[in-house]
Structure 1
Amino acid sequence: MSQHKIAVIVGSLRQDSFNRKLATGIARMAPPDFSFNPVRIDDLPLYNQDDDANQAASVKRLKAEIAGSAGVLFVTAEYNRSIPGVLKNAIDNASRPYGQSAWAGKPAAVLGVSIGAIGTALAQQHLRNVLAYLDMPTLGGPEVFIQAKDGLFDDAGNIGPGSQAFLQGWMDKFTGWVKLHA
């Protein structure tokens, strides 16, 4: 059985991020032939095209982790009705220099959780537009717009019983999507 490595990019730097918890909890729902590996984005320089010929070590590491993955899971917060700047910066760094994007062809999916009633719906829509441009086949549905409420996670950090069936169905779709595009 081959192992499918998934790069997980959380669009929040907050230590106690709901999205980091969601990324951890949903990874535990994956089949045994999948591994979910968090990718660090907090140490990347601000993207500057002048640096394309001499990318920072952290950018090279990010690009290598994406290149070595079978797919990418974006779990994003929503800041001011869009994606966080740190996530956009990571996307920009790994897409350059032009013609050397680490993202191209990688199957992707987008999730998010927020205290707001519509979850991260607007951030996810913006992110999907970016991923389409980057030539990342992105799972279209089911869409996952989660409102953070008591019971979303249990004391061990697993997905709570009220969301387990829905998110397991999502995980089944995502793993099938990655295999389809392998």
Structure 2
Amino acid sequence: MERPLKIAGVCGSLRQDSVNKKLLDLAKTMLPDNVEYEYVDYSDVPVFNEDIEQPVPESVQRIKNQVESADIILFATPQYNGSYPGNLKNAIDWMTRPGGDNSIFGKVAGIVGATPGQSGTMQAQLHLREVLSHLGIQVPAQPRVMVSGAYDMLDEEGNFLLPEVESNNYRKLLDELYKLAEVKSM
């Protein structure tokens, strides 16, 4: 029996009650039996500084191990000041360090995003896509999951109730990521 595919979920917001974390949680409910999910908590990762990269801090090594063991990285990003958050960039920078030890090169990644506003995190996703492409990460062009008005889509327990169109797009994105990851593993 083949090993299951593994997704590492990385949230651009560090807030405990983040709608983007909830969007990652929603993905877990959509996964088939042959796909595992692990959340990458990088809230304790220090700000990148070459002076402290040798030896690699324990919190950094933990997230590097998580993404290295994953076939797919699923990024959920809010949009702050027209881009993705600096803490997410910091985590990505650490994932590529120290030089010669890039934990995410060649991975397959998906990008989703939710916002209470109306932009659907479009600019943040475009900027993140550009950085990931520069790092040799394969990001499918379509479908895109950009949720606007996110607070209006939460039930009483705080779970997402995406409209059918958004939910279908999310499933299609996950399916595309599985296909790309399976091809890479051949």
Which residue type is aligned with residue 130 of structure 2? N
Deviant stretches of 4+, over 6 Å:
none
Identical-pair percentage: 34
Give me the whole-angstrom Cα distance separating, in 2, the residues matched to 1:62 and 1:129. 22
Count of residues in Structure 1 that have an aligned counterpart in Structure 2 = 182
Give me the whole-angstrom Cα distance separating, in 2, the residues matched to 1:36 and 1:133. 25
Which residue type is aligned with residue 43 of structure 1? D
User: Are residues 151 and 62 of structure 1, via their aligned partners in 2, closer, same or farther at CA, if it must alter by over 3 Å?
Assistant: same
2:70 paired residue number: 69
Give me the whole-angstrom Cα distance separating, in 2, the residues matched to 1:153 and 1:177. 31
Name stretches of at least 5 consecutive residues in structure 1 with no aligned partner. Answer: none
Which residue type is aligned with residue 21 of structure 1? K
Say whether the 8 Å CA contact 2:19–2:150 is kept in structure 1.
Answer: no
Displacement of 1:150 after TM fit? 5.9
Which residue type is aligned with residue 172 of structure 1? D
Which residue type is aligned with residue 160 of structure 1? L
Say whether the 8 Å CA contact 1:26–1:158 is kept in structure 2.
Answer: no
CA-to-aligned-CA distance 1:117-155 (integer Å, 9 cap, x gap): 121110111111110111111121111211034663445
2:44 paired residue number: 43
Q: How large is the Cα RMSD of the aligned pairs?
A: 1.7
Which residue type is aligned with residue 168 of structure 2? A
Say whether the 8 Å CA contact 2:107–2:137 is kept in structure 1.
Answer: yes
Give me the whole-angstrom Cα distance separating, in 2, the residues matched to 1:4 and 1:67. 13
Counterpart secondary structure, 2:90: helix
Name stretches of at least 5 consecutive residues in structure 2 with no aligned partner. Answer: none
Give me the whole-angstrom Cα distance separating, in 1, the residues matched to 2:181 and 2:137. 11
Counterpart secondary structure, 1:35: strand
Say whether the 8 Å CA contact 1:154–1:160 is kept in structure 2.
Answer: no
Displacement of 1:50 after TM fit? 1.6
1:119 paired residue number: 120
Counterpart secondary structure, 2:31: coil
Give me the whole-angstrom Cα distance separating, in 2, the residues matched to 1:55 and 1:167. 35
Which residue type is aligned with residue 173 of structure 1? E
Give me the whole-angstrom Cα distance separating, in 2, the residues matched to 1:121 and 1:5. 26
1:85 paired residue number: 86
Picking from 165, 169, 181, the partner of 2:168 is: 165
1:11 paired residue number: 12
User: Are residues 69 and 121 of structure 1, via their aligned partners in 2, closer, same or farther at CA, if it must alter by over 3 Å?
Assistant: same
* TM-score normalised to structure 1 length: 0.92
Give me the whole-angstrom Cα distance separating, in 1, the residues matched to 2:124 and 2:50. 25
Displacement of 1:71 after TM fit? 1.4
